[in-house]
Structure formats: C-alpha cells, structure tokens
Amino acid sequence: MNSMNCDLSAVLLDEYRIQTRVREIGMQIASEYKDKVPVIIGILKGGAIFMADLVRSITIPVELDFLAISSYGNATSSSGVVKIRKDIDADISGRDVIIVEDIVDSGLSLQYIRDYLLKHSPASLKTCVLLDKPNAHKMEVSFDYVGFEIGNEFVVGYGLDYDERYRNLPYIGILKEELYS
C-alpha cells in the first residue's frame, strides 16, 4: 500500500482505468494526425505524467515540448493569475500543435495557454486534457480530447499535486478535506 494513500478519502481513478483511457486517446491522436508530425506541448508540472504515458501510446512521429505556467500556488482554489515560468523552445509557426494539460477547473489556465500559443501562428491547435470539472468552468471552454469528467472535489495523483506533493501517485484520488481546510 502506498503511504500517501491514507491522505485520500477515496481512489477516484485507478491505474488500470487511467492507462486504458490514455491508450485510447493516444490511438485516436495517431489516427487523426496520420502523415503529420504534431508538436505536443505538455503543461508543467501537472501534465508531465499524463504526457509521458500519452506519447508512448502515439504510434506516429511527434515532437515534444513543454510550457510551464503558474496557477495555484499552494492553495486549492484558482488565484486567477496565470504567468509563464518556462517558454516553449520549438518554433510552432505553421505546425500542428496539441496542448496536453492535467485538469481544467475554471478554464482560465487553458484559455490563457491557447491565446498565448495562437500568437505563434500554428497551422492548427488542439487541446487534450486528462480531467475536466465541467461544473467548475467560469467561462466557455472546449477541448478536443478529454480523459474523464469529474465532480468538483480536489484530486491528487498522476501529476496532480497539493502543495507540490502526491504527483507521483500512480492513480488519482480525492484528497481528505481536513488536509487543506
């Protein structure tokens, strides 16, 4: 038993469910981008684990890049301030770009990232998110690939953190409320 497991009130998505869904998305991307070489941009740090598994399920050539933004700090609710901490290295002008993000809550981060990358004139821009909290959106958000829709509970694991911890849990769980309230 993982020692971090006792900080969870429940396991929401186990390893098997995550891996199965990630593989399906990877296969869908591979078939939709056949004959292309998309640039896959992982959003650090939360999207790193998802990105690592996803790209290994994609059976066509891809290029990888990363963008780091600040979102939550140490709290569990959005600060509303999005800042770029590490820019992309690739020249994405004229390229087919796929953003890989861990979770969409208010939608603010994803909108900011989309607007930012669109300024670099990609040929196309799609978004792939592992988790979506549809009841938490504060704006119109749409994505092209979604792993799972979840409720408004605060979740950790598989890249997602609370105060930088739990990212290395291989599954996704609901963090006990007494640990942050």
What residues line the site for Mg ion (CB under 5 A)? Answer: 46
Sign of CA dihedral 43, 48, 53, 56: positive
> What's the chain's length in residues?
181
User: Minimum CB separation from Mg ion for residue 82, in Å?
Assistant: 10
Active-site residue among 7, 102, 105, 132?
105
CB closer to Mg ion out of 46 and 147: 46
CB closer to ligand IMP out of 17 and 167: 167
User: Minimum CB separation from ligand IMP for residue 156, in Å?
Assistant: 6
Burial (0-12, 13-18, 19+ Cβ within 10 Å), 166: buried
C-beta separation of 96 from 122 below 8 A: yes
Residues making contact with ligand IMP (CB under 6 A): 46, 71-72, 78, 101-110, 154-156, 160
User: Minimum CB separation from Mg ion for residue 71, in Å?
Assistant: 5
Q: Where are the alpha helices (DSSP H) in 4-43?
A: 15-32
**CA distance linking residue 115 with residue 133, whole number of Å:** 21
CB closer to ligand IMP out of 117 and 156: 156
**CA distance linking residue 158 with residue 81, whole number of Å:** 24
Q: Is there a catalytic annotation at residue 132?
A: no
CB closer to Mg ion out of 26 and 46: 46
Q: Which does 174 bind (CB under 5 to 8 A by kind): ligand IMP, Mg ion, none?
A: none
C-beta separation of 46 from 14 below 8 A: no
User: Minimum CB separation from Mg ion for residue 14, in Å?
Assistant: 22
Q: Which residues are catalytic?
A: 105
